[in-house]
Each structure stands twice: as C-alpha cells, then as structure tokens.
Structure 1
Amino acid sequence: MYNLLRVSTPILATKLYIPPSRSTIVLRPRLIERLNEGLLGSRKLALISAPAGFGKTTLVSEWIDRCGRRVAWLSLDEGDNDPARFLSYLVAALQTIVAGIGEGLLAALQSSQLPPIESLLTTLLNEIATIQDKFLLILDDYHLIDSEPIDNALTFILEHQPPQMHLVIATREDPHLPLARHRTRGQLTELRAADLRFTFAETAEFLNRVMGLHLSTEDIVALETRTEGWIAGLQLAALSMHDRQDAASFIKSFTGSHRFVLDYLVEEVLLRQTEHIRRFLLQTSILDRLCGPLCNAITDQGDGKAMLEALERDNLFVIPLDDQRQWYRYHHLFVEVLRAFLDEAYGEQVPTLHRKASVWFEQNDLPGEAIHHALAAKDFERAADLIEGVWLGMDLSYQSAAWLVWAKALPEEVIRARPVLCVGFAWALLAIGEIEVSESRLRNAERWLDLPEKPSEHSSAGMVVVDKAEFHALPASIAAARAYRALALEDIPATKMYAIQVLELVPDDEIIHRTQATALLGMAEYAEGNLPAAEQQFLKFQALMWQADDTANAINITYILANILQVQGRLREAVSAYQQALQLAAKRGTPVFLGASDLYRGLSELLCEQGDLEGAMQHLRTAQQLGERGALTGWPHRLCVAQAHIKEAQGDLAGALALLDDAERQYVRNPLPDRSIGALKTRTWLRQGRVTEAMEWAREQSLSPDDALSYLREFEHLTLVRLLIARFVAEHSAGDLHAALGLLVRLLQAAEEGGRMGSVIEIKILQSLAHQAQGDQPCALAVLERALTLAEPEGYVRVFVDEGETMRRLLEKLSHIHDHPLIGYVNRLLAAFRQTEAATQKPALINLKPEVVEPLSERELEVLRLLRSELSGPEIARLLVVSLNTLRTHTKNIFAKLGVNNRRSAVHRAEELGLF
C-alpha cells in the first residue's frame, strides 16, 4: 500500500486546459500519421520524448484538432509529485469528458482508512471502461514527475488500461515505466528528437511563412544545420533576425553563445541539473564524441557509461552515434553553451581536461584525436611526439595532407628541433605540390645529422627524436625526398643522382626506401622517353612489392606500366594489362585499394581511344564510385581529363572544356606523367576554330618550332604543330606550314628512336593533314596509309576521328579504293565519324548534358540541392540524419549519373539540366 496523505486538493483549472493549436504553426502530417497509426492498432501508449524546445506540446495540440477524439488533458508540474495530488488531478482531467467519474477515488483520498492503491485504481479503471466514446488521456511535462509511487500507479493503469482509453505522455525524459515491455508487445508509439526535428521543408516554412522572414535556400540550409532541426533554436534565431539587414552574416555567427540561445539553454536545461550532472556536462564538453571509459578518464569518476545512458534517457541533448550506444555526441548549440560555461567556471582546468583526453585516445590507439586534444591543450611537445610517431604510416597510406594540418599547428621552434618531423614535413609538402618550400625543411633536418650527440626521446641539448629507427634512416629519406622534388621540377639528372644515392645508403632488404628510389628512377627514365629502361625499373618495383606482400602497390603500378605500353603504341597489351590486374585484385579479395580508381580510369581511356564509348563510360563510372579511397596522388585531375576525352568523343567540346577547367584547378604537381592541361585545352580550342586563344597559349609557353626536343614537351610540340597548320589554313602563311612540317620531321625521328609508336602514329596523321593543307593530296594519302597500317592492329579510333572534317574527307578518298587492304578499318573509322556527327547535331541543351545513365532519385535530388549550398559533407549528413558513409554513397551515385567527378561540376551540370 502506498502511503497517501489525506488531502483536500483545490483544482487549478488551467492545468486541465487544452492548449489550442495556432493558425501559424507548421503542419506536420508525417508525425500526425504516426500518432494516428497508434490509435488504429492495439497500442496503449504514445510517448513523445525529446529535449526542451522540440515542439512536443504544439504537436499534440495539432493532433488533437485532427484525430476526432475527446481529450482529457493534464499539464503536470513539480507539485504533482505528491501521489494524492496527482490522482486528484488525474480524476479532474477525466471529469472534463465524463462528469462524476472517479468520485469514489476522491472520497477515498479523504478517508482516514485508505484502501490499497491498486483497489482505488481498479475502481477507476472499471468506471473508465463504461465510457462510450474513445478518448485520449494526455499527461504533458511528465519529466517533472520524480515519484516512484506515481510511476507505479501509472504502470498499473497501463497494464489494465481499457481499450477506449489511449494514454499520451509528452516529456523531456523517458518515464520510469516498462517501456521495453510495451515496445516488444507492439503497444507503444514513440516519437523522439530525431523524429521531431524540423526537416528542410518544415524549416523553410517556419522561417519564411510563420516567422515572416525572407531567407534564401542557402541561409535556410545553414540555419537548419546549425540548429540540427531544433525548433526552439530556429525560433530564437528568427527572433534575433527581425529587422536585421544582413541575415546571412548573422546566420554564420549564430552559435550557442548567442544571448537568446544561451539564456534559453541555461535556464531550461543547465540550471535544472544537479551539481554532479552539471559538472559532468561541462567537463566532457571538450569532446567531439563521448564514451563511458573516456568520460571516466576526463572526470576522474567511474560512472561515465551510466551517466551517458541517463543523459540519453533524460533527453539532455545527447545523440547516440552507433546502434550499440557506445559513442555519443552533444547537440551542436548545446555543446557550445557548455564550452562557454566551462571556460567561465573551470577555465584553468581546460588544458588539463584536454591532456587527459589526449592520453586516453593515445592509449586506445586513436592517434588523430590524441593529437587534436594535445594541440588544444597547447601541450606542443606531446603533440609533436604523437605527430612524429604517426608520420610514416600516414605517408605510406597517402594521408600526408591531413598530417600536415597537425604539423603546421606546432610552433616553429618545436618543429626545427625534431629532424624526423622536419623530413616528414618536407614529404608532406611535396605530396600537396608545394615543391619549392620543401627544401628548407630538409635542410632543417640535415643540420642535426652531423652532431656527435645521440638522439634521445627528449634531449635537453636541443634535438628531439621519437622514432629512432626513422632518425637513422634520415639520410636515405632526405635523398629520396630530393629525388622526388627534382623530378617534379623536371630536373632529371638530379632525380637520378639522388635516387641512386638512396640505393647506396640502404641495405638490400630495406623495402620502403628501395622501392621509393626504384620508382623514382623509373619515372626519370619515363620523363626522358627511355621507355624500355622505365619499364624495367617499374617491373623491379613490382617485384619488390610482391616480395613485401604489398598486393595493392604491386597491382596499382600497372597504371604506369600500361601507360608505357600505350605510349609505345601497344594498346591491346595495355588493355590486357589493366584487365589482368583488376582480375588479380578481385581474385585476391582486394577489389578496392589505392590505385584501383586509376586502373579503371586508365582502362576507360584506352577503350575510348578504341571507340568503345559504352565500355569506357562504364569503367569510368566504376572509377568514380571508388573515388579517393582507391586513388593515387592527383586523382581528381586525371578523372576530369578522362571525362573530357569522353565528352569530345560525344561531340561535346564545350563540356570537355569545362572539365579541363576543373582539371586545371585541381592539379597538384607530382612525379606521375601527366599531359599539359593547357595543351589539351588548346587542342579543343582549335577544334572549335578558336585560333587566337591557341596562339596566346603558345606564346605563354614560349613554344617555338626550333625548340630543342624532349619527351616531356613532346605533347606540347605536337599541339604547336596543330596550331601552325590551323593558322596556315586561316591565314595562308607559308612559313607556318613549313615550320610545322620541319618540326614534325624532328619529332618523328625522336619518337621512332624512343620506340614511341603511339607518338609516331599521331605525327604521321599530322603530316598527312599538313600535306592536305598544302594541296598535296597524294602525299597526304600516302602518309595517312602508313599511319593506318601502324594503327589498325591496335584498334586506334579517336586519334583519327578527333582530327575532324579534313581527316574524314581523306578517309573517304581511301574508302573509294574497294580492294584497299585497310578498307575494313577505314570504314570502321568513318562509322565513328558519323556517330560523333550525330551526337553533335543534337539540340544544344542535349549536347551540353552529361551522360545521365538513369534519373536521380528523390533522395539524390535532395542531396544535390544541399550540395549547391556552402555546407560541408558532415553538415549535410547531419541535416539529412544519415551517416557520412551513406551521404558519400548518394554523392557518388549523383556524380556517376551526371558524369562529373566533383561537387562544383555536379551543381553546374544540374543547373544546365534544370534539376533545381
């Protein structure tokens, strides 16, 4: 029996007053439908549980207006924790729909001899069972109830609830009721913060219609992201924006420290907590994500897991990050309020808290977060130790850019005292294309190498070394960095000198530096056009990778080997090399590895050259889907170039140029062989008849027909030949044609000596076009036949078709010779011309469209609209309430369907298509 006091409770009528719905609210049919589903089934309880300001009461009021049932409403307050008072008000609420109900219970509460509470409730439930109509009993603000007798009484009511009554509880924290049991039985409807938060459409309606603002889509998206759909946060922001001229600037500065948000969260949330909970919230607010053991380390308490579970149960703006409820985070605005209060209340402790976090993350093998907190604590020596310790692993896994962000946060004196860190700094600079400035970091490291002092972990004499093994390898690492740097600067002799130096410094069984040096020697030979020597070096590199059981690098070097085959004119062998590498990767269970994207992209380019556009697009889409996780340095640049080739093959020269512009913006200098973007754009301009732009490019590059020749500039000189021929055709300047033919003779000799048959074919095609421009068609046809003879066994197509109308007419001349041995090949090329011509003659809008394989889904269109904003990927994921991986999947699908490889291009293409 509960110990109920005899009371005479005066009833405050306003507690039974149903809040009217307002005409200015945002209608929420998706939530109303879920509540209605609970009425139609056998569900006894609707639980609406969310933090302050998520619109719980407003939603229930809207539902009442639409559900068509009678309602008994009770707004609870802290005084209702007395069981007798609670039951008195419960009966009073029921009496608003049936007069006289529960009078016996009220009388019993005044009796000197109280019967068991179950007996009182049984009588009340029997009376409820006689009510004719179905009705709702709504208990609002149940979080103010902290009484076990009341929880037990409500549990009894739920267990024996008559079917015509449907209980509704609106609360900021979950009540102590057997929710799991009712959930398992299918008797519970639940709406939580994730359900109640405004969607983008609801946010837009609230801000622009209800609050009378006139915000742009970008501003609405930004505010939605900052508030995470928290309705009160949106309302507070809207109130702050009234009469402001520059809403966008306000939104950018809108944080948890804004006075309205600060006051609301402090008064409604923070100050209502116990001192123990408040201290926990403040101390753990330094964390971007939380788990029980981490919180224990930060707070020096042992109840971290229980506290997080309690915070989630109590809806204290804590959001689970996994299904196991191991990791959580705080709501963005809430954590900003907490951090502001932390600085005010425990400012001197903040560095210590960050240091504790750093130690925990390090001990749990989470170096990135350990570094983050060490830097936040301004414990730069600790941060430098950690940063140095992860350098080699991150460098080998192509994460240099992320590593460099940490390294740049260190004071200069800390960096200069650490030779290993200096060399890591230099390598990271090289990886992001900052070639020149890397040298000073290498010199910083070198000054420590001649010191008699042995390295210690923290040397008072100045030098600090954490990774002693890497310190002893510094001479080789520095030489390798200088070889890389020299190659990027096109200093081939220096590249070879430093690479050989590396091989002399390291033992035969030292894999990392030996493979670096071998690859760099291969690149140097490649840059000089010594393809057989380059091929041998890369095969040696591949053997070392197999020896080290490094499957990914052993396979991805196929990209370079196939490129060499392509330059040698061995297209079919190159295609086979790609296919075999991909089959091997699949057989070994490693279809996704660093370099996989480039294998698919390289195969796509070869298929495009051979006229298989469908196959080319298919492999390029696969490359896009693999994206950065399967890419080597310079991937975005190369993908744009490959897409541009396909655009040209489709006759879309404008689209090709747009992609080449993207490629130019994303280019990072590196040792991998890349054709000049300027030369690629110039070739496209010439196909459009834009000779002036092409001439300007040649002047900027200081190109001349009399230049000394090198393989590195062969592609540019072949582009110059095209310009000279085009200018002769436009201006009839005999000097241009004479210069073009002379340059072609020299280029042909160099290409033949270097075994670059791909170049030989292109050169002979240009000789044919030059002779045709000169009016010497017999000579033009004779040279063209030699080009066709070389090209036919390998299946070349685009190298002919891309030359346009003049080439088509020459091929038609050959096609009239019916017994010509190459007639089948000639007819195939002419068919490819007709295919390109048909694509070019489509309406302009179609011509500019990307290859859309299938329509975008509604979700993909929603993601696409958000990509148009300034939101980051994580912010968009939070706005859509999806994981970052899910967002990436949507984004990759969008890119593939639109035929683009980055966000800006996706938006540009979508605008062309009118998708917005």
Structure 2
Amino acid sequence: MKAESMMAMTGAEPVLPRHESQDGRFSAAPLMFHFRPVRTCLVSAILQRLVTADAKAAMIDLIVAPNGWGKTVAASQVYHHWVEELKRPGLWLGLNRANTGSWALFTHLIARLDRVVADARGSPTPAGAGIEQSCPSHLAYLLERLPRPFLICIDNADYCAGNPESGDLPDFLAELVQTAPAGVHLLVTANRPTGSDLTAARLNNRLWLHGTADLALTEGEARQILEEGLHPVEDTTLNTLIARTEGWAAGLRLGRLLLDHAPDGATLANWLSGDAPDLRSWFDHHVLGAIPVETQDFLHHASLFPHFSAAQMAEVAGIADAPRHLSMLLDAGMFIIPVSAHEQTYRFHTLFLARLRSEAEQRIPAARRQECHRRMAQWSMRQGAWQTAIDSAIQSRDHGFISTVLEQAAPRLVQDQGRLQAYMQIVDDLLAQGISLGVEARYWYAFALSFQLRHASADTQRRRLADLLDATDPGHADFSHRLAHLLVAFAFLADDIPAAGRHAQAWLDAPTAKDPFDRGWVLSILAVHHLMSYRFAEARECLRKAAPMIREAGSPYLTAWCELIRGTVSIYEGNLSKARQIIDATLVAAEQSMGPEAEICDTICSIGSKCAFEQGDHLVARAWLERGLRSMDRHGTVGSSAYAVETAIAYWNGDETALSFQRLETLIGTHAPRLALTFRCLVARRLVQLGRVQDAEAVAREIDLDVRKAVLRNHRDEQPARFRDLLVMISIEVLHGRGDHAGSLKLAERELRRAKHEGRMLRCVRLELTLMSISFQTGRQPGALRHLLAALRQAERCGILQPFQNHRAVIAALVGSLGQRLESCFPTRGERAFVGGVLDLLGLDEGLSVPQPERGCVALGALSEREHELMQLVSSGMSNAVIARLLGLSENTVKWHLKNVFRKLNVVNRTSAVRRFIQDA
C-alpha cells in the first residue's frame, strides 16, 4: 500500500472537502473523513466553553500541532456540532495551499462574510458609508453585523503569507483577533506557530492555546480507534500501540489499519516504529523533506540521547549553531516534546525517535557515536543527572569508562536520590555482561539489595566486597567501618530490630571517622530501635543528633527518611494532627526533590495512609494506600508495610476471594514472618468488627493465639512491642465479641494503664471505647458514658476520629439516653466543636430518639466488594459525580449500585443507608 493513500485513510491527509474556491486555494466546508472521529476531551472542552460563553467578549481557540495530530478533525467536530446540532451560524475557511497570500485570504474572507451578513439581513450589504471593500475597516464593519453568537473556523492558518506585490496588510490573524467583537468566536488551527501578535487577547484572558499535549488521545480515546477494526485486539497489543504512538491520532489509525491485515497483532505492535516502511515514507515526505541538510544532522545527533537542549548539543555533539537549529525545528512544529521548560530540554516523539535513530546509525560513524555518548555522560555528571550519565556511559561500550562513571554516580543515585530499584537493575545488567564493579559501586549495590528485600544477595555482595578490599588496595583499610554500617542496615531491613540496635550502637561508639550520610543513617536506625520499644524521648534524641549529619550529607533521601521517622513517632504517640503535618510536608518535599516515583515516597504513603485513615480522611487514605502497596513487594521495611496492611484490612469487607485481599496476600509473601503474622492478626480483628466472631476465633487458633493470655503459644522469642500490642487488642476484641466480658475487661483495664504510662493517645482512645462498649453490654451505663467522655477528650487533642465509627451503635444509645446535648459535657469551645464533628461523622441527630443496639455485634449484610467500597465513599460525603470519577464509572452505574445497596440494607434513601452502613460497620 502506498504511504500517501494509507495515511489518507488514517486521517493525516483527509479527502477533498465538499466545497472549494474556484482556484482551489480555499475550502468552504470542513473536510470529510473515511472514519468516525472520536469525541476527544479537547473537543468537549471547546464546545463547553462555546456554549457557556457570555457575549461580553470574543473567544479565540488556537490549535498548533504538526501533521497527523488531529487538529483539523477536532476543528471539524466543533464546527459540525455548532452548525448542525446546535443550529447556530458559523463559517468555515480552510487554506489548502502553503504560501497563500494574505491579501487573497483577506479578500476571500470578506466576500464570505459579506454573503453571511446579506443572508442575515435578507438583502445585499450596503456598499455605502464610504467603506472600501476588502480592507481592514470593512472587515470590522462586517464582523459587527454578523448574527450572534457566530463561530469562524480557519484551518491551516499558517499557510497564509504576506504578499509584497500588493503591499503588506497588517498581520491577518492578529487583525482578525483584534477586530472580532463580543459574541464572534474564532477557532484557528496551524501546523506551526503563526508569528501573530496575540498578546492583547492573552492578557485579556480571551485566548486559549492548545498543542500536541491537548490533542494527544487519552487511553480511552485511543482504545475507541483501535477497537474499530475488523478483528478484536488483545489488551496487551492495545497497550503497546497506545504507548508507542503517545496519543498521536494518525499513528493510532495506522496501527489499527495494519492490525486488520496482520496475522499476529502482538508482533505488529512491537514492530511498529518510525522506521517501519510506511511511517518512514510519511516522515520523510511530511517532516524531514523541508528540513535543511545541516539541521537534519542536528536531528540525527540529538536522537542519540533521551533528551536534549541547545547548550548540550553544542558541547556534546560540537554543533556550533545548535540554538538556531533547535529554534527552527520548534518553529516548524516538529515532533519535539518539551521535557523541562525551565532548562529548555526536549525529547522526540517515540515513533519519530525510532525513525531518526535508525538513520543516525547509518550516517554517524560508530566511533563518533561512542565519543558523543562519553561526552554526554560527562555533561550529565556536571548537571547532576546521574541516571542519564550511567545510561550514556553504557551506550559508549567502554567498560573502563562505565566503571569510572558508576563509581561517581552510585552514591549520588542511591544515597541522594533514593533510586535503589533503578540502580540495582543497572548493576544487575552490567554484571550479566561481565563488567566489573569498583568498591563504591559494589558497596551501594549491597545497600540497595538490602532495601529491595534481597537479603541473601545483599550479604553475599558484602562478603565479596570484604574479600575485594582484603586482596587489593590497602588504602581502603578505613572502609571496614562502612562494612560494619552495612550490617546495621541488613539487620534492620531483615526485621531483626534488637540486633540492628546493638550493631548501630557499636558502630557509633567505634573511634573511626564516619561519613555524614552513614552516621545519619545509623542514628536513624537507632531511633527506630527505640521507637519500637516506645522510648519516644530516646528516639527523638537520636533524630536530633542526626540533624546536622543530614544537613551535611545533603541527601534528599536521608532527609525524607528521618522526617518520616519523626512523623511515625507522633503516630505511635497518637498525635495524628502533628504526624499528618510532618507526613504531608515530607511527601511534598520528597516528590519535588526525587520525583513521585521514588520508592521512599511509597514508604511515606504507606505510613501516611494509616494516619489519614485514623483521622477519618478516607479519600487521602485510599490514595496513599494504593501508592504504598504498589512497591511493597520490592521495597520497604516490615514496619512501614505493616501500616499499609493495617489500612487495607480496615477497608476489607470480609470476602477472602476479593482481588484486593488476594493481592495483599501475594504482596505479604515476600516479607519477613512477622508481617505475615501481623496480617492474620489484623484479619481476625476485622472479622470481629464485621460480626464474624467465630471466624475470628478460627484465625486466632490458626496463628496459635491464646486469647486469655494474649500471647502466641510456642513462640518463645520476645515480640516487638507493637506486635505484642496487636495480639493484646485482638484478644480483648475476641473475648468481648464472644461475650467473655470479664476476660476482656481485665485485659483492657491493664492495657489502658500501660498506654497512659507510655503516653500513647491513639491506643488510649481505642481502649476507652472498648471499655465503654464492655460497660454498656454489662449494664453499667454511667461507666460507659465516663469512658466515652474520656475518649472524646483525648481524641480532640490529637485529631483522632476513625475509632468512634467502630462503636457507633453504643455511642448512639448513650447519646439518646443522656438527657442533654453531649457537647454540653465539655467546657471549651474547641472540645464542643470536635464532639459535634464526631456526631456529624456518625450521622447522629441528638434531637431524635436512637434505638438501643442489640447485645452483640450487627452484621453489615451481603454487600459486594464494590458496593462496600461505594458506601465507604458515600459515607465520607462524596457526591455521585465525584464517586463516578474516582471509580471510573458513569453516574448512572453509581445510581444503579446505590439502588441495590438500599435494597440489601432495607432502607429508602441515601441518608438512611449511610447511617445503617456506619452503624453495622
């Protein structure tokens, strides 16, 4: 198939329009396409603005993008909807030839507008008033007399050029924008920047600029194109095509066309690149054909790198006129995508990059390419772009140079940027190629392996490093203390906290010069060691000592890690308000310094999800939970992972066949045994909350838990304090759930005294509420009220909300029988406001009588996993529209699910459903 005809079918070169001017330069109607256009987000946004725009000013939409991005398709859709569906007046003017004179365009537009005005008046436009035909003043005269609102679409406006023979008119587009009166809207497309001065419109907030990023089809829109063909396509093939085309409409339609003629869609999707014969011809004709030879050389050299700038190309490739070449390419609307506006760096579209690299390998000698890669590595190291430096060194294929770059980049990539996964993958690949590692590179490889939960491999690397130092340069003798530092990390990440504490203290006491990063890191481990035993003052003291080391090391990774520990101390104490402030600020700083994909950000989200959940901020808790889980199987500590597991189980509806539950089980399988035990304990707790006490007891027997003594039978090892507390809380709740109030009361009162002594407010609130429930169930209502008031006072100081939802039925009964408003029991305005907020959260109206809860727990009902998730969002106050966006559903689907929930809960409206859901949960 010829490239021209094929690309016409994809939409890059549409068929001729229905109406043209006599000389063929202008089209009077939108182009017709041999496919069904997709209604994109951009088209919807423009139409929404057009429909809702007031008549106080003209509005201008300017779409600038290279061939094949669908700008003409988008403009056509807007015009058709405006004229044919909304029945409003408009005018289409398409330019068919490049270098069309501005005078010819001006004359043609005025003639078209003259006919519109005449038709609207029912008579020819009067030629009087001294207005000369085909001049700017006459254009203004006609625009003022158009019916309003009116839409003018101009396609390929950049084809307009000045006409020296007839005297230069003022800039056509600028004149039109400046002259357009209120209610006359413009939609203009161009293949490259027009150079028109539109500053006034931009300053007056009347100009909307759109580029390739706006035209790029979303995944859903791309799927509509790819699913239009003759044969069904596998999801993996669709995903590959979407990724390779980056939303480029013509590329997607080409892919769809080829799929219908390919025996193997997956092979074709992987084969599709800019060097494929048909796309190669298209790029050569439409893109590279108008590029000077010397600029093509710039393109070929730039294609060697993942991104480029003018300064970089001047130094790395030795291209003296690099700024001029880059400016010309940007003006020409090439397939170049900005990476950083501040640094003025760019990258090529994926398909165009493949086309250029193929030709670069033929035109640039191998030795020249390798030298460019070496220079790029050196350039990147000076810029602090360590990942790019390593990648470029690898491309040079110079093993000695690769080793040298890696020695410098390893600590920066790992200890500063926290890119452990990326570094580990790099070294794995180099080792597989037989490239030897230096001391620094191997040291940070062992460090990264330990964090990636590959403990055996990490220890093997540590031993090899020790052997290497013993057998080589004696100048590395002072490196032994860094090997001891690795022992601290290994013990901590293997969940041997007591050993980590011992190794950390011994390392700090050793009279050896220590690197600031190493010292700050070991102090942070010692802080965690103290924290796990609830020695909060000692933990904070370690962090205080680490602070100057952190500043000196200048490592964003270490900074985020120590701030996260500081926030976790506040969570252990139950001061959720303070913890949330620290975690929010830490996450923002980490994302800014290392990027949102850094693994430390996932760890922050794991712990943050627990904090947000206990505060009742479920939207944030769910979002952070998802981020925390995404890398839990390859990064993190048992402690941080346990927080994510606890939050996930809190949202679980009891269905062990649910995909979310099975995913959690799979993730936990990669961690230390304590996390697996923690998981089973949390499952037992959640089953009690769901009213499934017998199932909870079965889980307790499975993990060999003696609920009377709150210990694991046949486990002689001392358990970390936090895990021991979890065992106690499960025992209390199981005993209470099966009606053993004496046993649960004894344990709860003992634990409350201990929690108060340790200063742990969140645990105090939970235990006070548990004692409230026990007192109520045993008929001691005054005692129950006393525990409720104590829980509210402690919770108000720390911003704790979630535990009250688990006791909603008992609180409702106490509030209903109190005889006065619950807020009146508190002296300060802040406390009264907090109590009011708790009652609002529980959906309790103190003016209404509240039915007494049944003795024992009330089961939630047969809600599906999706219905349970839906009611969690509804109970947090979200509208149907917000829930639909969050879950990726339509509003009608949300309404349909809610009707099913109402039926299952035996309620008639949303408010009743929320109250029943909260009560039963």
TM range (shorter): 0.5 to 0.7
- 1:53 counterpart residue number: 68
Measure how far apart 1:227 and its partner are: 2.6
- 2:878 counterpart residue number: 855
Instruction: Measure the CA separation in 2 of the matches of 1:782 and 1:236.
Output: 74
Highest relative contact order (Cα 8 Å, sep 6+), 1 or 2?
1
- 2:370 counterpart residue number: 351
Answer yes or no: is 1:270 the counterpart of 2:254. Answer: no
Q: 1:56 to 1:155 in 2, by over 3 A?
A: farther
Q: Is this contact kept in 1: 2:403–2:437, CA < 8 A?
A: no
- 1:6 counterpart residue number: none
Q: Is this contact kept in 1: 2:27–2:93, CA < 8 A?
A: no
Answer yes or no: is 1:389 the counterpart of 2:404. Answer: no
Answer yes or no: is 1:502 the counterpart of 2:504. Answer: no
Measure how far apart 1:437 and its partner are: 1.2
- 1:75 counterpart residue number: 96
Of residues 790, 815, 820, the one that matches 2:750 is 790
TM-score, with normalisation over the residues of structure 1? 0.64
Per-residue CA deviations over 1:163-201 (Å, capped at 9, x if unaligned) read: 799999754223455455776688977654445444566
Instruction: Measure the CA separation in 1 of the matches of 2:544 and 2:467.
Output: 36
Of residues 434, 455, 479, the one that matches 1:474 is 479
Q: Is this contact kept in 2: 1:269–1:316, CA < 8 A?
A: yes
Q: Is this contact kept in 2: 1:643–1:659, CA < 8 A?
A: no
User: What is the DSSP-based 3-state SS (H/G/I as helix, E as strand, rest coil) of the residue aligned with 2:305?
Assistant: coil
Q: 1:188 to 1:690 in 2, by over 3 A?
A: closer
- 1:679 counterpart residue number: 680
One-letter amino acid of the counterpart of residue 373, structure 1: S
Answer yes or no: is 1:333 the counterpart of 2:351. Answer: yes
- 1:544 counterpart residue number: 545
Of residues 420, 423, 443, the one that matches 1:423 is 443
Answer yes or no: is 1:646 the counterpart of 2:647. Answer: no
Q: Which moved more, 1:360-369 or 1:579-588?
A: 579-588
Per-residue CA deviations over 1:437-494 (Å, capped at 9, x if unaligned) read: 1122112211232347455xxxxxxxxxxxxxxx565211212223443455577897
Per-residue CA deviations over 1:302-342 (Å, capped at 9, x if unaligned) read: 33334333322211122334555823332222222222222
Instruction: Measure the CA separation in 1 of the matches of 2:504 and 2:785.
Output: 50
User: What is the DSSP-based 3-state SS (H/G/I as helix, E as strand, rest coil) of the residue aligned with 1:410?
Assistant: helix
Per-residue CA deviations over 1:357-393 (Å, capped at 9, x if unaligned) read: 2222222222222222222333443343333324334
RMSD over equivalenced CA pairs, Å? 6.0
TM-score, with normalisation over the residues of structure 2? 0.63
One-letter amino acid of the counterpart of residue 541, structure 1: C
Q: Which moved more, 1:780-789 or 1:354-363?
A: 780-789
Instruction: Measure the CA separation in 2 of the matches of 1:144 and 1:200.
Output: 32
Q: Is this contact kept in 2: 1:71–1:138, CA < 8 A?
A: yes
User: What is the DSSP-based 3-state SS (H/G/I as helix, E as strand, rest coil) of the residue aligned with 1:153?
Assistant: coil
Q: 1:834 to 1:253 in 2, by over 3 A?
A: farther
User: What is the DSSP-based 3-state SS (H/G/I as helix, E as strand, rest coil) of the residue aligned with 2:430?
Assistant: coil
One-letter amino acid of the counterpart of residue 170, structure 2: T
Q: Is this contact kept in 1: 2:259–2:265, CA < 8 A?
A: yes
- 1:104 counterpart residue number: none
Per-residue CA deviations over 1:802-822 (Å, capped at 9, x if unaligned) read: 99xxx98x8677x24789x88
Answer yes or no: is 1:153 the counterpart of 2:168. Answer: yes
Q: Is this contact kept in 2: 1:47–1:188, CA < 8 A?
A: yes
Measure how far apart 1:240 and its partner are: 0.9
What 5-or-longer segments of structure 2 have no aligned partner? Answer: 1-20, 116-131, 552-558, 592-598, 756-762, 792-803, 812-852, 890-921
- 1:292 counterpart residue number: 310
Q: Is this contact kept in 1: 2:607–2:644, CA < 8 A?
A: no
- 2:832 counterpart residue number: none
Aligned residue runs from structure 1 range 185-200, under 5 A: 192-198=211-217
Answer yes or no: is 1:366 the counterpart of 2:367. Answer: no
Aligned residue runs from structure 1 range 32-431, under 5 A: 49-57=64-72, 66=83, 68=89, 75-77=96-98, 149=164, 153-155=168-170, 171-180=190-199, 192-198=211-217, 203=222, 206-208=225-227, 223-244=241-262, 247=265, 250-251=268-269, 253-322=271-340, 326-346=344-364, 348=366, 349-397=368-416, 398-411=418-431, 416-431=436-451
- 1:112 counterpart residue number: none
User: What is the DSSP-based 3-state SS (H/G/I as helix, E as strand, rest coil) of the residue aligned with 2:289?
Assistant: helix
Give the structure with higher Rg (CA): 1
Measure how far apart 1:435 and its partner are: 0.4
Measure how far apart 1:352 and its partner are: 2.9
- 2:902 counterpart residue number: none
Q: Is this contact kept in 2: 1:384–1:414, CA < 8 A?
A: no
- 1:665 counterpart residue number: 666
- 1:840 counterpart residue number: 859
- 2:32 counterpart residue number: 22
Measure how far apart 1:267 and its partner are: 1.7
Q: Is this contact kept in 1: 2:217–2:249, CA < 8 A?
A: yes
User: What is the DSSP-based 3-state SS (H/G/I as helix, E as strand, rest coil) of the residue aligned with 1:328?
Assistant: strand
Q: 1:755 to 1:663 in 2, by over 3 A?
A: closer
One-letter amino acid of the counterpart of residue 312, structure 1: L
Q: 1:93 to 1:406 in 2, by over 3 A?
A: same
Measure how far apart 1:277 and its partner are: 1.9
User: What is the DSSP-based 3-state SS (H/G/I as helix, E as strand, rest coil) of the residue aligned with 1:76?
Assistant: coil
Q: Is this contact kept in 2: 1:138–1:168, CA < 8 A?
A: yes
Q: 1:634 to 1:755 in 2, by over 3 A?
A: closer
Q: Which moved more, 1:393-402 or 1:688-697?
A: 688-697
Instruction: Measure the CA separation in 2 of the matches of 1:602 and 1:17.
Output: 61
Measure how far apart 1:671 and its partner are: 8.8
Q: 1:89 to 1:692 in 2, by over 3 A?
A: closer
Q: 1:423 to 1:854 in 2, by over 3 A?
A: same
Aligned residue runs from structure 1 range 594-609, under 5 A: none
Measure how far apart 1:400 and its partner are: 2.1
User: What is the DSSP-based 3-state SS (H/G/I as helix, E as strand, rest coil) of the residue aligned with 1:319?
Assistant: strand
User: What is the DSSP-based 3-state SS (H/G/I as helix, E as strand, rest coil) of the residue aligned with 2:546?
Assistant: helix
User: What is the DSSP-based 3-state SS (H/G/I as helix, E as strand, rest coil) of the residue aligned with 1:272?
Assistant: coil
Measure how far apart 1:296 and its partner are: 1.9
Q: 1:826 to 1:657 in 2, by over 3 A?
A: farther
Q: 1:506 to 1:74 in 2, by over 3 A?
A: same
One-letter amino acid of the counterpart of residue 427, structure 2: A
User: What is the DSSP-based 3-state SS (H/G/I as helix, E as strand, rest coil) of the residue aligned with 2:347?
Assistant: strand
Measure how far apart 1:431 and its partner are: 0.6
Q: Is this contact kept in 2: 1:142–1:171, CA < 8 A?
A: yes
User: What is the DSSP-based 3-state SS (H/G/I as helix, E as strand, rest coil) of the residue aligned with 1:52?
Assistant: coil
Identity %: 16
One-letter amino acid of the counterpart of residue 476, structure 1: H
Q: 1:641 to 1:413 in 2, by over 3 A?
A: closer
What 5-or-longer segments of structure 1 have no aligned partner? Answer: 1-10, 100-120, 456-470, 567-573, 699-715, 723-739, 867-916
Q: Is this contact kept in 1: 2:638–2:672, CA < 8 A?
A: no
Instruction: Measure the CA separation in 2 of the matches of 1:374 and 1:582.
Output: 42
Per-residue CA deviations over 1:378-424 (Å, capped at 9, x if unaligned) read: 34433433333243344445432232223223246876451222121
User: What is the DSSP-based 3-state SS (H/G/I as helix, E as strand, rest coil) of the residue aligned with 2:512?
Assistant: coil
Instruction: Measure the CA separation in 2 of the matches of 1:308 and 1:151.
Output: 33
Per-residue CA deviations over 1:672-692 (Å, capped at 9, x if unaligned) read: 975624533663698657879
Q: 1:72 to 1:689 in 2, by over 3 A?
A: closer
Aligned length: 744
Instruction: Measure the CA separation in 2 of the matches of 1:51 and 1:755.
Output: 59
